[in-house]
Amino acid sequence: MSDQQIIADRATTSAAKQSEAAESRKSLLDDPRVLGWGSVALVLAVWEVGAIATGVNALYLPRPTQIVVALFNMFYTGGLLTDLLVTLYRIFAGFGIALVVGTLLGVWIATSARVRAVADMWIAALYPLPKVTLIPLLIIWLGTGGPFMLTISALGAIFPILINTVLGVRQCDPGLVLAARDLGATQRQIIRRVLIPSAIPSIFAGMRLGLGVSIILVVAAEMVVGKLGLGARLYLAGQILETEQVFAVLIVLAALGITVTKIQDAIDVWLGRWRIA
């Protein structure tokens, strides 16, 4: 090895070391988890310090530490867990109904031109309608109890699920249907073994959207009529100016959102294992 080459090599090694250190700092800043949680921590710290420094009235803006205390109290003595469970039950029971009805109806619509002609009309009429506007009518018909809550939750989820199911089934590669037919599959088997599996990513995208709408509608309905549930709790706390409790409920709702999103992400990865080479 020539001298020149050695010198050149040394230069590259030291440069590499320097860039390595810079690299690790940069990679820390590129890590989405660090960035995400870091931003939350930063905002909370600024909030806490700012609230103390400005002496803002806790009635308008309680400090994060006060909210955390209120949250613990509500869970341990205030029965917030019951409210959470009631709300979760309403959301997921309604969503479950929407999932079963929506996918079955969606497959039916996608596989029959006649049914599609009828359904197109109704979907066009009902899908853009904001579902909160149905709350008064549903209360007249169903009262304010369980059936009302399940209906409003199911109504929120069913359209995104149904529409995505139709889309997914109709986008199935015709070559796969032909191959299944060639292998002796009946029309029923083609639906169950080819059309539905190929539509699953699309159905799941619909479930994602639908569950979001279900959460919104159930909480909104609880705010209007509920005695139990997170929405009712939120509304009552606001009326008696318990601002810490309002924030505490909002935190629970945000945590619910994060959990649901992460679970859906995990299911997406699991379902998509055949899509990742």
Partner 1 sequence: MAASSVAIEFKDVGLTFPTSSGEPVVALSDANCRFEPGKVTAIIGPSGCGKSTLLQIARGFLEPTRGSLHFADRAQGDKTTSRPAMSTVWQAFNLFPWLTVIENVAFGLEVRGVSRMEREAQARKAIAAVDLAGFENKYPRQLSGGMRQRVGIARALVMKPDILLLDEPFGALDAQTRLVLQEQLAKLVEDSGMTAILVTHSIEEAILLADTIIVMSSRPGRVVAEIPVELPRPRGVATTHEPGYSQLFDRIYGLLRDEVMRAIVTESDAS
- Taking the complex as a whole, how short is the minimal distance between the CB of residue 203 and partner 1, in angstroms? 13
The piece of 38-46, 162-170, 175-183, 219-227 that touches partner 1 (CB under 8 A) is 175-183
DSSP code string of 172-228 = S-HHHHHHHHHTT--HHHHIIIIIHHHHHHHHHHHHHHHHHHHHHHHHHHHHHH-SS
Amino acid letter, 259: T
User: How many other C-beta atoms can be found within 10 angstroms of the C-beta atom of residue 215?
Assistant: 24
Contact in structure between 162 and 216 (CB atoms under 8 Å): no
Question: Which window, 31-39, 83-91, 236-244, 267-275, contacts partner 1 (CB under 8 A)?
Answer: 267-275
Structure token digits, residue 76? 């341990």
| Minimum distance of partner 1 from residue 176's CB (angstroms) | 6
Candidates 66-74, 96-104, 110-118, 172-180; binding stretch for partner 1 (CB under 8 A): 172-180
C-alpha torsion 192→193→196→201, nearest 10: 150
Sorted by sequence, the CB contacts under 8 Å of residue 131 that are 6+ apart come out as 152, 155, 156, 213, 217
Which member of 128, 130, 145, 184 binds partner 1 (CB under 8 A)?
184
- 60 is a site residue for partner 1 (CB under 8 A): no
Q: Which of 66, 73, 198, 264 binds partner 1 (CB under 8 A)?
A: 198
202: its two tokens: 């699309």
- Residue span binding partner 1 (CB under 8 A) among the ranges 40-48, 68-76, 139-147, 196-204: 196-204
Q: For residue 276, state whether it binds partner 1 (rule: CB under 8 A).
A: yes
Per CB under 8 A, residues contacting partner 1 are 173, 175-176, 178-186, 189, 193-194, 197-198, 200, 273-277
